[in-house]
Amino acid sequence: DTAVSQTPKYLVTQMGNDKSIKCEQNLGHDTMYWYKQDSKKFLKIMFSYNNKELIINETVPNRFSPKSPDKAHLNLHINSLELGDSAVYFCASSQERGYEQYFGPGTRLTVT
Amino acid sequence: QQQVKQSPQSLIVQKGGISIINCAYENTAFDYFPWYQQFPGKGPALLIAIRPDVSEKKEGRFTISFNKSAKQFSLHIMDSQPGDSATYFCAASSPNSGYALNFGKGTSLLVTP
């Protein structure tokens, strides 16, 4: 069974569109994260959710919004997509107050 | 700003050799230091991690050395194999930042046969 899954794996869209990436974890973890990996492979935290509450909100544009319908899911909504949003987005999860984070397979977003 | 600095950017090691990757940090609130391995097209996979109350941790061929006073830690891969060829990331986190991982820029390791 896949521990952390993301859909879709690839997403190609035009500038100005709105898109969502879904993430699900079956590890029973209480905290989930979104990371962005740029073209130079640099990984940077975007958001994390703990028990459905946002506990980190890094300096990302407000066009990005995380939505957590329950503690097993953390979706990422992106409005008015820009060329610079092209990257690989990774979802991760960990136990509350734990440190071991497990990553999903990533979603490669390409904005044209 | 880059909170964790990683070197070298790339590394070529012969099969059977030792691969060494170094990281340094400034934030003394960091209290968890993991290493991740990433293959092309895959997500980062947790390899090994250490907390500052120990100076070394070994798991199989992978060893983390930690120097709290110097604020440095390193990954040693013994008997490196071609299958170890991947990108390696060090990271650091603290409760103050909600355990978000602050990553180094990564090291691309190539192990030649």
Summarize the confidence of residues A68-94 as an average pLDDT: 95
- Helix/strand/coil for B45: strand
Predicted pLDDT of residue A97: 64
- Helix/strand/coil for A79: coil
Predicted pLDDT of residue A98: 65
Chain B residues whose CB is inside 8 A of the A55 CB are 98
Q: How crowded is residue A59: how many other Cβ atoms within 10 Å of its Cβ?
A: 6
List the single best residue of A42, A99, A100 to mutate versus B (max B Cβ within 10 A): A99
Side-chain half-sphere of A111: how many Cα atoms within 13 Å? 16
Answer whether A31 sits within 8 Å of B99, measured CB to CB.
yes
Answer whether A99 sits within 8 Å of B98, measured CB to CB.
no
Answer whether B32 sits within 8 Å of A103, measured CB to CB.
no
Of the candidates A56, A41, A37, A110, the one whose C-alpha atom is nearest the C-alpha of residue A78 is A110
Rounded mean pLDDT of chain B?
95
- Nearest beta carbon to residue B43 from set A50, A98, A106: A106
CA distance A104 to B6: 23
Q: B41-87: per-residue pLDDT in tens?
A: 999 999 999 999 999 999 999 999 999 999 999 999 999 999 999 99
Q: A26-65: per-residue pLDDT in tens?
A: 999 989 999 999 999 999 999 888 876 787 777 789 899 9
Residue A99, Ramachandran bin (φ over 0: left; ψ between -120 and 50: alpha; else beta): alpha
pLDDT value at B92 more than 80: yes
Sorted by sequence, the CB contacts under 8 Å of residue A28 that are 6+ apart come out as none
Of the candidates B3, B16, B18, B1, the one whose C-alpha atom is nearest the C-alpha of residue B90 is B3
> Buried b / exposed e across A36-50, counting CB within 10 Å, b at 16+?
bbeeeebbbbbbbbb
Minimum Cα–Cα distance from B44: chain A residue: A103
Share above pLDDT 70 across residues of chain A, in percent, rounded to a whole number: 95
Answer whether B99 sits within 8 Å of A41, measured CB to CB.
no
Chain B residues whose CB is inside 8 A of the A7 CB are none
pLDDT band at A109 (very low <50, low <70, confident <90, very high): very high
Side-chain half-sphere of A52: how many Cα atoms within 13 Å? 4
Chain A residues whose CB is inside 8 A of the B44 CB are 43, 90, 103
User: Residue B34 is encoded by which pair of tokens?
Assistant: 């993991």
